[in-house]
C-alpha cells in the first residue's frame, strides 16, 4: 500500500466515517477524510443531537404545567425560538470542534470539500487526484420529498432546525420516527400541528401495541393525527401554504414539513463508474464485512442497505477498520438492535415485535401492562404508559421488550442487554424490582395477555 498517497480514503465525516478513520489510523494506516458539509454528519448537525435538544425544549411547558400538583407556583411562561436555536447552534459548533480534534489527534487528514470516486484506487477533490489502497463510502442519507405539484414549498428536517421563527401552524407529512418526533416538538413548543400519514397507523416496524399507544397519547395531547390521508398538491399563499389532501379538503399552515423517509446519499459520487453495485434506491450493496462489489471499496452507515441508526454506523465503522487494517475480521450482529422514538411520550424497543415473534416462533406468550405513571397521580396529567414483553413459549426466552412512557429509551437500553444475552422470562421474574419505578413493571408482569 506504500505506493498510494493513502491507505484509506473515507468519503463522509459522519459518525461512522469518523470512527472508521480513527480506528484505522490507530492501526497505522494513512487516512484521509473528505466532507463537503459539516463534521459529524447528519446525527450531530441535523439529526439525533439537535433533535433531542429540541425534544427537551418542547417538554418544558408540560413540566411547568405539572408543577402545580406538587405545590409549585410558576409565573408567566414565555418561549423564545431564536434563543433555543442559538443555544442549539452553539452546542453543535462545539461538537463540530470535538470531531475535528478527534480526527486531527488521530493523524487523519481532513479535506473539507466534495470527493468523488474516479476508479477503485483514485479519489478526486476538484482538480486534485489522490490514490488510495482502500475507499470507504460513508456519505449517509438525505431526506426524501416525493414528486408532487408544489413540493418545492415544503421543508424537511434539514431546514426545520434552522427556521427563523417557530411557525404557528405546521403540517407534518410522514409516519416514521422523524415525523412523529417533530410533530411532538412543534406541538410542545406551542404550534398547532396536523400530522398526515397515508396508511392506517404510523411507526411501521414497531410493535402494534406500542404504535397505538403513541397515537393515543398524541391525540390526547392535542396533535391532529390524520391517518389514511396524504397531500396531492401544495400551493403557496400569503403567510404560508395550502395543502390539498386526498379527500379533496384543504389545510392551510405556515409550514409543511415532509418526513417521508431518507434515501442513501450516493448520487453522482462516481460509484457506478468504479464498478460498485447499487440497489434500486441507490444504497451500496455490501457483504457482511461491508465490502462492496469492488474488492477494495467498502461502505457503512445510512448509504448501505442495512439499518439507518447512528450507533449501527459507528459499530460498522469499527468493524471495517478491524477487518481491513487489523487482520481481525469482524461483522455486526443486526439481531435485536434497540431503538427509541423520542415521541411524547417516547417509545423504546428491543428485540422482536409480537408479529415478528409469531412469524418466527409460532407459539409465544405476551405480557402487557398499561398504567398511569406515579408522577401523574399528582401532576394531574392524563397520560398512560404501556409496557410489553414477548416471550417464546417453548424456551421461555424473552424475544421482545417494548415501552411507551417517560424515559423509555433509558429503560429499554438496560433490558436490551438482557435480551441480547438470551434472558428468560423466569430470570426477569427472579429479578428484584427497584421500587417505585416504571421499569419495575418489566420484572413484575405475571399475567399473560
CATH class of domain segment(s) 151-260: alpha beta
Q: What is the pLDDT of residue 252?
A: 98
Task: Please indicate whether the domains covering 6-141+263-325 and 345-443 agree at the CATH topology level.
Answer: no
Active site amino acids: 435
Domain locations along the chain = 6-141+263-325, 151-260, 345-443
Vertex 80: Cα angle to 214 and 43 (nearest 5): 55
* DSSP class per residue in 258-323: E-S-EEES-TTSSTTTTT--B-TTSPBP--TTSB-SSTTEEE-GGGBSS---HHHHHHHHHHHHHH
pLDDT along the chain (449 residues), means of 10: 88 98 98 96 97 98 95 93 98 97 98 97 97 98 97 98 98 98 98 98 98 98 98 97 97 98 96 97 97 98 95 98 98 96 98 98 97 94 96 98 97 97 98 97 95
CA distance 4 to 109: 15
What are the grid coordinates assigned to 61, written together?
411547558
pLDDT of residue 305: 85
Helices and strands in the chain: count of H runs, count of E runs:
12, 21
Q: What's the pLDDT score for residue 1?
A: 46
pLDDT attached to residue 398:
98
pLDDT, residue 2, reads 59
Q: Which residue is associated with the grid cell 403540517?
A: 171
- pTM equals 0.96
| Integer angstrom CA distances of residue 49 from 44, 91, 95, 161, 260 | 5, 9, 10, 11, 20
What is 345-443's CATH superfamily? FAD/NAD-linked reductase, C-terminal dimerisation domain (3.30.390.30)
CA 82 to chain centre: 25
What string of DSSP letters covers 61-73? HHHHHHHGGGT--
CATH class of domain segment(s) 6-141+263-325 = alpha beta
Which of left, alpha, beta for 229 (phi over 0: left; psi -120 to 50: alpha)? beta
CA distance 51 to 387: 25
Amino acid at each position: 500500500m506504500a505506493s498510494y498517497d493513502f491507505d484509506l480514503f473515507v468519503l463522509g465525516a459522519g459518525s461512522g466515517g469518523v470512527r472508521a478513520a480513527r480506528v484505522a489510523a490507530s492501526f497505522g494506516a494513512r487516512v484521509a477524510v473528505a466532507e463537503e458539509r459539516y463534521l459529524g454528519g447528519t446525527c450531530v448537525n441535523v439529526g439525533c443531537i439537535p433533535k433531542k435538544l429540541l425534544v427537551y425544549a418542547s417538554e418544558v411547558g408540560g413540566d411547568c404545567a405539572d408543577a402545580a400538583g406538587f405545590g409549585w407556583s410558576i409565573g408567566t411562561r414565555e418561549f423564545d425560538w431564536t434563543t433555543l436555536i442559538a443555544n442549539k447552534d452553539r452546542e453543535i459548533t462545539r461538537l463540530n470542534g470535538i470531531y475535528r480534534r478527534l480526527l486531527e489527534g488521530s493523524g487523519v487528514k481532513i479535506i473539507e470539500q466534495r470527493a468523488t470516486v474516479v476508479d477503485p484506487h483514485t479519489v478526486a477533490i476538484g482538480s486534485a487526484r489522490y490514490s488510495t489502497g482502500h475507499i470507504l463510502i460513508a456519505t449517509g442519507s438525505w431526506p426524501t420529498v416525493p414528486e408532487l405539484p408544489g413540493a418545492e414549498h415544503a421543508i424537511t428536517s434539514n431546514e426545520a432546525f434552522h427556521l427563523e421563527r417557530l411557525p404557528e401552524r405546521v403540517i407534518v407529512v410522514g409516519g416514521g420516527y422523524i415525523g412523529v418526533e417533530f410533530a411532538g416538538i412543534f406541538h410542545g413548543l406551542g404550534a398547532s400541528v396536523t400530522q398526515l400519514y397515508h396508511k392506517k397507523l404510523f411507526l411501521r416496524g414497531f410493535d402494534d401495541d406500542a404504535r397505538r399507544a403513541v397515537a393515543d397519547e398524541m391525540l390526547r395531547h392535542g396533535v391532529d393525527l390524520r391517518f389514511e390521508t396524504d397531500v396531492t398538491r401544495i400551493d403557496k399563499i400569503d403567510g404560508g401554504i395550502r395543502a390539498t389532501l386526498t379527500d379533496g379538503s384543504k389545510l392551510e399552515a405556515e409550514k409543511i414539513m415532509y418526513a417521508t423517509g431518507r434515501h442513501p446519499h450516493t448520487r453522482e459520487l462516481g460509484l457506478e463508474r468504479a464498478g460498485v453495485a447499487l440497489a434500486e434506491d441507490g444504497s451500496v450493496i455490501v457483504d457482511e464485512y461491508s465490502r462492496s462489489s469492488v474488492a477494495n471499496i467498502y461502505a457503512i452507515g445510512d448509504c448501505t442497505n442495512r439499518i439507518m441508526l447512528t450507533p449501527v454506523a459507528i459499530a460498522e465503522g469499527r468493524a471495517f477498520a478491524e477487518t481491513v487494517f487489523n487482520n481481525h475480521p469482524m461483522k455486526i450482529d443486526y439481531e435485536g438492535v434497540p431503538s427509541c422514538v423520542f415521541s411524547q411520550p417516547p417509545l423504546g424497543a428491543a428485540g422482536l415485535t409480537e408479529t415478528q415473534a409469531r412469524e418466527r416462533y409460532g407459539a409465544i406468550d405476551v405480557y402487557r401492562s398499561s398504567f398511569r405513571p406515579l408522577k401523574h397521580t399528582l401532576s394531574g396529567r392524563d397520560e398512560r404508559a404501556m409496557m410489553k414483553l414477548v416471550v417464546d413459549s417453548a424456551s421461555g426466552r424473552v424475544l421482545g421488550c417494548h415501552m411507551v412512557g417517560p424515559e423509555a429509551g433509558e429503560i429499554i437500553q438496560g433490558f436490551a442487554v438482557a435480551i441480547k444475552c438470551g434472558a428468560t422470562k423466569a430470570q426477569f421474574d427472579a429479578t428484584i424490582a427497584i421500587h417505585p419505578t416504571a421499569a419495575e413493571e418489566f420484572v413484575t408482569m405475571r399475567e399473560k395477555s
